[in-house]
């Protein structure tokens, strides 16, 4: 699963917004939320969250449910065992320790690993 996880992190999960949404849904299996609710819970702008939810839905990582004759959409975690397993592995990797978390975020943002630099306060 590590190869599949690394591939997913290099392609479909390419932003912190996506990671935040997936971790939120992982923590709330069986729930559904409107984009504005998700935005409030993850602390990102609603327009960005709405676009991200659509992208995650297209990638098969979240479920999209249409209500009100197509006027409204709610989103929730995927029911697919393979997807749930991958998200659980991401969560485990994310929670393991601060350095693992930093590495995961670097992978998502494609930031090269480097020594921390002192903050310039001048």
What is the band of 120 on the pLDDT scale with cuts at 50, 70, 90? very low
pLDDT digits (tens, 9 = 90+) for 19-78: 999 999 999 998 999 999 999 999 999 999 999 999 999 988 999 999 877 788 999 999
In degrees and rounded to multiples of 5, residue 121 shows phi and psi of -100, 10
List C-alpha distances in Å: 75 to 2, 5, 22, 85, 106.
Answer: 27, 22, 11, 19, 27
The pLDDT mean for the chain works out to: 82
Position 5 confidence tier, pLDDT thresholds 50, 70, 90: low
- The CATH number fitting domain 2-109, selected from 1.20.1260.10, 3.40.50.150, 1.10.230.10, 1.10.10.10: 1.10.10.10
Report yes or no on whether pTM surpasses 0.85: no
């Amino acid at each position: 699963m590590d190869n599949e996880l690394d591939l997913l992190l290099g392609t479909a999960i390419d932003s912190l917004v996506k990671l935040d949404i997936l971790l939120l849904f992982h923590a709330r299996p069986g729930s559904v939320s409107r984009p504005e609710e998700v935005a409030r819970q993850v602390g990102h702008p609603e327009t960005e969250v709405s676009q991200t939810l659509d992208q995650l839905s297209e990638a098969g990582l979240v479920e999209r449910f249409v209500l009100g004759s197509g006027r409204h959409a709610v989103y929730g975690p995927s029911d697919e065992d393979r997807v749930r397993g991958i998200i659980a592995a991401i969560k485990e990797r994310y929670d393991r320790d601060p350095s693992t978390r930093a590495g995961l975020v670097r992978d998502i943002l494609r930031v090269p690993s480097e020594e921390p630099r002192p903050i310039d306060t001048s």
